[in-house]
Structure 1
């Protein structure tokens, strides 16, 4: 499994992922008969939104390990979206048809007037749609749950009581309670402001998520299993009502 680590340069992580996607594309061109059969939900995605200190990154790692998927954390997604060369590389990983479709949907989302028209947001949306189009992606933060079509993945919110998050930060940073509370609240407010600025949404609105998990009561291992079961359950429901070919469409005009 490929996963994000602080010790590996972003450029190397992206290059490795690009090679994996290219191999998959070449195999696909040779004919479906040579590709091992996969469950339908393997074309999906999981987005992880979280309160600071609630354990969302660890849950994302465990979900990726359980599914044998790739984690795309907010730093990697941001770096790709703001670096011209990386952005071009990841977009070029798609065939021309899919590139055109994603370009169309990005413009449609921006023109809907429900989002900011900021250039960064346009790049961010295109990168996240491209990552999700390849499937097998666990995407942390950056408002991915407000970009991607709900039917194709699971949008998760991780939270925990403030006192538990403060205690975690105190232990990690060896800092006092007042300072930990200040940091926790500043980070929570920063994330709320990001979503409001670019998406004009409330990050705490439960309507933006399929699954909300309280890590004060549920451990990361159980959380990862719940997310997997939710993903599988959504696809089982979809397969009974939506033609399989439609599941390949990343963008959804009704979920702008």
Structure 2
């Protein structure tokens, strides 16, 4: 079983790179599908689930909690339940076979599957430009507002990551390949990363 997990800074293009890797390798790609599955299994609105799991409704949670969701005294019950459900969904998707999973701390939750762990990042200017290019007409932010949003999302991701690992989110020691997308075409970059993945799994002896 071959699994690639993609962790990424907000606005770095990690989601797009994951999708293009899926196209190159012919493997299933999971991103928002995970949110949809969690929402469906709990009869909840997808927007609510996304807000809880992605927008940082975990304030007051210690940065290190023994790497478990079983006991989080500062978290609302719904948050604990949805985190556990997300874990179950990730494990179920991994059991289906080769795949690419973006975000969700899949690199840590699926560690026993020995995934190829990518971290995608870029300089601030590139991230701001990417976000502005992809924002809808009703999501127009000033540069200052957008920069604040980038930092907030990354802080939430780092906080969630700290629930499961002592290594800081984005620390190179926690990943097999860190990809700087600054000034690069993701369309051109994806086949190169796909070739790296093939070589890596081959050397790992992963069938």
Q: Same fold (TM over 0.5)?
A: yes
> 2:196 maps to what in 1?
230
1:61 aligns with 2:19: yes
Within 5 A, what are the aligned runs for 1:182-221? 182-197=148-163, 199=165, 201-221=167-187
TM (norm. structure 1) is 0.59
> 2:67 maps to what in 1?
114
CA deviation profile, 1:140-169 (whole Å, cap 9, x unmatched): 110001122376431111100012111222
Root-mean-square deviation (Å): 2.6
**Partner residue of 2:10 out of 39, 48, 52:** 52
Provide the secondary structure at the position in 2 that maps to 1:69: coil
> 2:49 maps to what in 1?
none
1:84 aligns with 2:41: yes
Alignment partners' CA distance in 2, 1:237 and 1:151? 15
Within 5 A, what are the aligned runs for 1:138-157? 138-149=100-111, 152-157=114-119
Query: Structure 2 stretches of 5 or more lacking a match?
Result: 44-65, 71-79
Give the direction of change, closer, same or farther, for the CA distance of 1:145–1:232 in structure 2 (3 Å limit): same
Count residues with an aligned counterpart.
Answer: 173
CA deviation profile, 1:191-229 (whole Å, cap 9, x unmatched): 222222455652222222111100004321343223322
Alignment partners' CA distance in 2, 1:62 and 1:130? 23
CA deviation profile, 1:91-113 (whole Å, cap 9, x unmatched): xxxxxxxxxxxxxxxxxxxxxx4
Query: Structure 1 stretches of 5 or more lacking a match?
Result: 1-42, 87-112, 248-256
Alignment partners' CA distance in 2, 1:83 and 1:196? 27
User: Which of structures 1 and 2 has the larger relative contact order (alpha carbons within 8 angstroms, sep 6+)?
Assistant: 2
Per the TM alignment, residue 82 of structure 1 is displaced from its structure 2 partner at its CA by 4.5
Give the direction of change, closer, same or farther, for the CA distance of 1:200–1:115 in structure 2 (3 Å limit): farther
Alignment check: 8 A CA contact 1:153 1:231 kept: no
Structure whose alpha-carbon radius of gyration is higher:
1
Alignment partners' CA distance in 2, 1:129 and 1:227? 24
CA deviation profile, 1:86-142 (whole Å, cap 9, x unmatched): 9xxxxxxxxxxxxxxxxxxxxxxxxxx432324433322222122112223111110
Alignment check: 8 A CA contact 1:170 1:176 kept: no
Provide the secondary structure at the position in 1 that maps to 2:5: strand
> 2:57 maps to what in 1?
none
1:130 aligns with 2:86: no
Structure (1/2) with the larger helix percentage: 1
Give the direction of change, closer, same or farther, for the CA distance of 1:147–1:130 in structure 2 (3 Å limit): same
